[in-house]
Amino acid sequence: MRIRDDIQKALKDGFPVVALESTIIAHGMPYPKNYETALALEEAVRKEGAIPATIGIVNGEPVVGLNKDELLEMATRKDVMKVSRRDLAVCVALGRWGATTVSATIIFAEEAGIEVFATGGIGGVHRGAEETFDISRDLLELGNSNITVVSSGVKAILDLPKTVEVLETEGVTVLSYQLPHLADFYSQDSGLPVDYVFENVNEAAKIILARRKLKLKGGILVSNPCPKELALDHKDIDPVIEEALKEAEEKGIHGKASTPFLLGKIVELSKGKSLETNIALAISNASLGAKIAKAIAEQSL
Ligand code: PSU
Ligand code: MN
């Protein structure tokens, strides 16, 4: 595993670092917006006074802290694998490029000693999972880590109530930022109540540190609602999601292809609106992640 020098130094000095994933770049958005977003996410983290560490696999080598050229390759290459735990050894052994999902990013972030990780929206239990058994590895990996993932709740293409149940089974603490309900990606509010709401990052950091002190295995999901200005109304985006799900079913799309297909289809059907929203919420999560990482660093002094 290669860890960029400035990240290594920051971790040694107790300086705040925020992990970022690469599947959102390689498989979650079209070029060139994906590359611009990758840079914007790093910039958002820096602006808050933390160091970004985008994680991915370059020619079979896991990298914590991709450089600009590598981010561009992630954003443009056609042969980048979408990597979760089961794909890791294959990607490394074959010397391939791999974009790490939330689940695989958690593995490397934890190994590097990074505690906070920001993304757009985590994977979860897919609709129809009672038939397909499609439950994202993200939930299990989060449950088995010590990482805090900052996300706009759970992707709206999923079955949210079932996802909440699995998060509970996995022992993941869900903390909602300001809103008493779980965020649902494109819209701000899923209507699903969340037990724990925090008003400022110091409270979140305190909980994260308590969890660390208790040596409790199991991650934390911070649900950060999408910025208001770009949040989409349920009445507009819900039918688009339904249509995308219908097309996926007709085309027999399943497994790891499912989420990239749905996100791409929703961009197309919403005439690009969902992409702008996805970018805005990811940036907002990177920014909140950096604030939380900073608060953790301050409280750890
Ligand atoms: N957030 C986004 N866009 C994305 C993802 C998250 O805004 O594309 C990615 C993450 O890498 C997450 C993955 O782990 O979607 C979920 O894939 P799956 O449902 O196949 O587990
Ligand atoms: Mn899946």
CATH code, 292 = 3.40.1790.10
Average pLDDT over residues 128-149: 97
Residue 184 β-bridge partners? 153, 187
> Per residue in 66-103, pLDDT tens?
999 999 999 999 999 999 999 999 999 999 999 999 99
Token pair of 111 as six digits: 């190994």
Residue 30's alpha-carbon distances to 14, 33, 52, 122, in angstroms, are 36, 6, 22, 19
Q: How far apart, in whole angstroms, are the C-alpha atoms of residue 301 and residue 296?
A: 9
Angle at 27 (CA atoms; ends 108, 287), nearest 5 degrees: 60
Return mean pLDDT, the chain: 97
Which atom of ligand 1 lies at the shortest distance from residue 258's CA? 20
Which candidate, 159, 97, 91, 90, places its Cα nearest to that of 123?
Answer: 159
Number of domains in the chain: 1
Which atom of ligand 1 lies at the shortest distance from residue 121's CA? 1
CA of 215 from ligand 1 middle (Å) equals 28
Average pLDDT over residues 280-290: 98
**Residue-range definition of the domain harbouring residue 136:** 2-299
Which residues have C-beta within 8 Å of that of residue 131, sequence separation ≥ 6? Answer: none
**Catalytic residue from among 33, 155, 265, 291:** 155
Token pair of 17 as six digits: 């670092």
Q: What is the pTM of this model?
A: 0.98
Active site residue 68: no
pLDDT for residue 156 is more than 90: yes
Pairing of strands 98-100, 81-83: parallel
> pLDDT grade, residue 301 (50/70/90)?
confident
DSSP class of residue 29? S
